[in-house]
Structure 1
Amino acid sequence: MPGNSFGNLFRVTTFGESHGPAVGVIIDGVPAGLPLTTDDIKFELSFRRPGRSLVSGRREKDEPEILSGVFEGKTTGSPIAVVVRNSDVISSLYEEIKYKPRPGHADLPFIMRFGYENWDYRGGGRSSARETVGRVAAAAIAKKLLMISDTLVGGHLIALGPIKLEEKVDFNSILCSKYSLVRASTPNLEEKFKELIKQATIEGDSYGGIAEVVVNNPPIGIGEPVFDKIKADLAKAILSIPAVVGFEYGLGFKAAEMKGSETNDEIVNKEGRLGWKENKSGGILGGITNGEPIVFRCAFKPTSSIRKLQKTVDLRTGEETTISVIGRHDPAVAIRGVSVAEAMAALVLVDHSMRSGIIPLVKLSREQATGIQERWERYVKVCGHTAESR
């Protein structure tokens, strides 16, 4: 079965190529009665959109169109189709790539699997990060549904190249980092990230980075005990993102260097409820959410399309040659990747929330829909002052 779909009860199927007419997504399993507009989806898409300073210069408006599943501002319970037209395509920039697969890219593996004659080389075709538009569009719906349990998903960039976030930041700062051009959660880090990106652009090179995603007030007790653990499904979801090369949650790989007495988190009484003292497990134990904030990190490799000369092979002759990739590419794919990591987390959580009965499968009550809409409006406005200052 082709791997273009994700999820069980809340199932998304993305479609489209980087330089095709459009990209988009079909979402099946959304209960009826959820208030939904194109503005809701556009809000989330705006934070992964290219054409801004310090990211890809491709100027896409990313205007979503809802083709089905919504009537008079509410979901009907039928599949929702969302399409986003590609409006700024310059395929001529990829003519050299037609014969010279790019180092670090999926070009050659796609040729090996599907055949050279079937390979869409324009902008990477289906393997392009442009595909993630559909994921983020679907996640706008997922994020809204999660507000039935007052659950919020926020992400920020904690490392870019050699520069790392040194201090702890609160969840509101993480949430508001969406308005930072480089997804930094502190002004000091933002300036350092900007300088690094500018230098990489001058050199024709790129940098990798680490995104951290925090889920505040996650539903308690979701996740299956064996194969469908929350950690397992999150890992699959995050590692499916283009350019992601690593995933960890809680203490992550640091735990391998520690003693059990150091990694075990003490169980304490938190104002009348059981909880964990330091949340060392990142909100997940036994593959099940324990009520503490879910915290995970993912590593993005540097953008592979760079202007520096690299070795490759000319497919017409079989001879070794060189390539300098021109075009409009992110100097650090991790910046826009934060929004995609948030999106995949939301898709996993909403699917498990439906499997656990926290979100109704068929329809929302009027009270549930009203509560969700009120929380969504607060979420959209919560960082407005931050957006104006930046």
Structure 2
Amino acid sequence: MASSLLTKQFLGAPFSSLGSGQQPSKLCSSNLRFPTHRSQPKRLEIQAAGNTFGNYFRVTTFGESHGGGVGCIIDGCPPRLPLSESDMQVELDRRRPGQSRITTPRKETDTCKISSGTADGLTTGSPIKVEVPNTDQRGNDYSEMSLAYRPSHADATYDFKYGVRSVQGGGRSSARETIGRVAAGAVAKKILKLYSGTEILAYVSQVHNVVLPEDLVDNQTVTLEQIESNIVRCPNPEYAEKMIAAIDYVRVRGDSVGGVVTCIVRNVPRGLGTPVFDKLEAELAKACMSLPATKGFEFGSGFAGTFMTGSEHNDEFFMDEHDQIRTKTNRSGGIQGGISNGEIINMRIAFKPTSTIARKQHTVSRDKHETELIARGRHDPCVVPRAVPMVEAMVALVLVDQLMTQYAQCMLFPVNPALQEPLQSSTTESAQVPL
């Protein structure tokens, strides 16, 4: 259970907490009590929460942008999964700062260390702890932000809610928190690949007003190599250059721009997702919108589908050469009725321009005085190139959690034949469900 950080006045509370000295009135014979007046200050105890994601495959991230380090604890990973730091490092290198001129110049190697949950290169089934140290900290760059709120940043709302915040780099609101997500996502990707051949790929499809036409990318054949062939992570070289130029234009002017990341999932098992409140696209939306700087989520045809008629939008069924039920088109985005249908899942996530910019802005200080602020520090002029592995990670976490939900945590990896066979009991034999 989360622990209480502090007691702070909460303006939205509809009535005072019990024990405030007011004389409550009784309602019938229940224990529900209401105050007789509202003259006393309204107070509500605020509890820290929201650091854990998932049901069966659970990930808790920890650490702040300029603290000692960041990382995650992964609980629910099946035993005997081959896993090493190098599996995670590949993904972390795609996310790390300082990788090109269009990202933050902060220099971090983001070298990860697995400190629990593995033995002899295999997962043990116990919690996996992954740590990444912070080595290039410049906490003094944030002295102005300790006094004044950055416009459109989480500085003010963290103060409003908790009454305390980590000033340096934004603390938990910093995108550096996503290191834990990406590390955990690498594990989830590996499980999905081994069990169902599921492949998750994301790429940049828009930077500011440079929009990649959908027909220039074939979601059936696009590869990771094409995406990683340039610093903006757009699989089309011509539009990649236009996007890089758009970022360079604002970067040298101390400004920022936003963009869109498109994510596709191939070889998705049918049947993932649980209506009605836990529909697969709803889980994916929550996961992706939990990333920093996200402002929009589209699935399948998205908002463009509103301009179509039903006869234009419907995905008609047919039997393919393997006697499988398929759809001729995929405007449903691979999910119908909240359940995956086996077609390619596709979605788009919108990211706003980076809040922290090196231009003078009007704001308010913590002691409620209007002032001006020129933020210092090192920040991305556009977050979308580094957001690509973050989106992939969150999608992977949703899908592996759904997979485990579908098969009741019964994902078993082969036992070393040199060991005594522990899987011969009727219980474990019946638990092995092929995908």
TM over 0.5, shorter chain: yes
Instruction: Render the CA deviation track for 1:70-118: whole Å, top value 9, x for unaligned.
Output: 0000000000000000111101100000001100100000011111xx3
8 Å CA contact 2:258–2:352 kept in 1: the answer is: yes
Instruction: Render the CA deviation track for 1:236-277: whole Å, top value 9, x for unaligned.
Output: 101100000111110011122221111111111221211111
8 Å CA contact 2:200–2:392 kept in 1: the answer is: yes
Q: CA shift at 1:359, angstroms? A: 6.9
Q: CA shift at 1:315, angstroms? A: 2.3
Q: Given the alignment of the two structures, is residue 96 of structure 1 paired with residue 144 of structure 2, yes or no?
A: yes
* Residue 140 (structure 1) aligns with: 186
* Residue 184 (structure 1) aligns with: 234
8 Å CA contact 1:67–1:81 kept in 2: the answer is: yes
Partner Cα distance (1:255, 1:69) in 2 = 45
Partner Cα distance (1:227, 1:179) in 2 = 39
The worse-fitting range, judged by mean Cα deviation, of 250-259 and 26-35 is: 250-259
Partner Cα distance (1:126, 1:359) in 2 = 31
Which of the numbers 284, 291, 296 marks the counterpart of 2:342?
291
Which of the numbers 317, 322, 326 marks the counterpart of 1:267?
317
* Residue 311 (structure 1) aligns with: 362
Q: CA shift at 1:355, angstroms? A: 1.1
Q: CA shift at 1:175, angstroms? A: 2.4
Partner Cα distance (2:187, 2:169) in 1 = 28
8 Å CA contact 1:247–1:297 kept in 2: the answer is: yes
Residues 274, 231 of structure 1: CA spacing in aligned structure 2 closer, same or farther, 3 A cutoff?
Answer: same
Q: CA shift at 1:174, angstroms? A: 4.8
* Residue 205 (structure 1) aligns with: 255
* Residue 127 (structure 1) aligns with: 173
Which of the numbers 390, 395, 402 marks the counterpart of 1:352?
402
8 Å CA contact 1:156–1:174 kept in 2: the answer is: no
* Residue 121 (structure 2) aligns with: 73
Q: Which one has a larger percent helix, Structure 1 or Structure 2?
A: 1
The structure with the largest alpha-carbon Rg is 2
Runs of 4+ aligned residues of structure 1 deviating over 6 Å after TM superposition are none
For 1:66, what is the secondary structure of its paired residue? strand
1:348-387 map, 5 Å: 348-357=398-407, 360-361=410-411, 363-366=412-415
Instruction: Render the CA deviation track for 1:121-175: whole Å, top value 9, x for unaligned.
Output: 1000111010000000000000000011000000000000000112331345352
For 1:203, what is the secondary structure of its paired residue? coil
Which of the numbers 258, 264, 269 marks the counterpart of 1:219?
269
8 Å CA contact 1:142–1:350 kept in 2: the answer is: yes
Q: Given the alignment of the two structures, is residue 244 of structure 1 paired with residue 294 of structure 2, yes or no?
A: yes
* Unaligned ranges ≥5, structure 2: 3-48, 417-435
Partner Cα distance (2:269, 2:324) in 1 = 15
1:46-85 map, 5 Å: 46-53=93-100, 54-85=102-133
Which of the numbers 380, 388, 394 marks the counterpart of 1:330?
380
Partner Cα distance (1:304, 1:209) in 2 = 14
* Residue 175 (structure 1) aligns with: 224
Select the structure with the greater relative contact order (CA < 8 A; seq sep ≥ 6). 1
Note the aligned Cα RMSD (angstroms).
Answer: 1.4
Q: Which amino acid aligns with 2:156?
A: L
Q: Which amino acid aligns with 1:269?
A: M
* Residue 386 (structure 1) aligns with: none
Partner Cα distance (1:48, 1:295) in 2 = 21
For 2:348, what is the secondary structure of its paired residue? strand
Partner Cα distance (1:180, 1:62) in 2 = 21
Instruction: Render the CA deviation track for 1:273-318: whole Å, top value 9, x for unaligned.
Output: 11111111110000000000100011000001111211101224x3
For 2:88, what is the secondary structure of its paired residue? helix
Partner Cα distance (1:333, 1:7) in 2 = 25
Say how many residue pairs are matched.
Answer: 363
Partner Cα distance (1:360, 1:80) in 2 = 19
Instruction: Render the CA deviation track for 1:333-357: whole Å, top value 9, x for unaligned.
Output: 1111111111100000000111112
For 1:132, what is the secondary structure of its paired residue? helix
Work out the percentage of aligned pairs sharing the same amino acid.
47
8 Å CA contact 1:66–1:80 kept in 2: the answer is: yes
* Residue 108 (structure 1) aligns with: 156
Partner Cα distance (2:259, 2:224) in 1 = 18
* Unaligned ranges ≥5, structure 1: 368-390
Q: CA shift at 1:366, angstroms? A: 4.6
* Residue 162 (structure 1) aligns with: 209
Partner Cα distance (1:111, 1:319) in 2 = 15
Partner Cα distance (2:329, 2:167) in 1 = 48
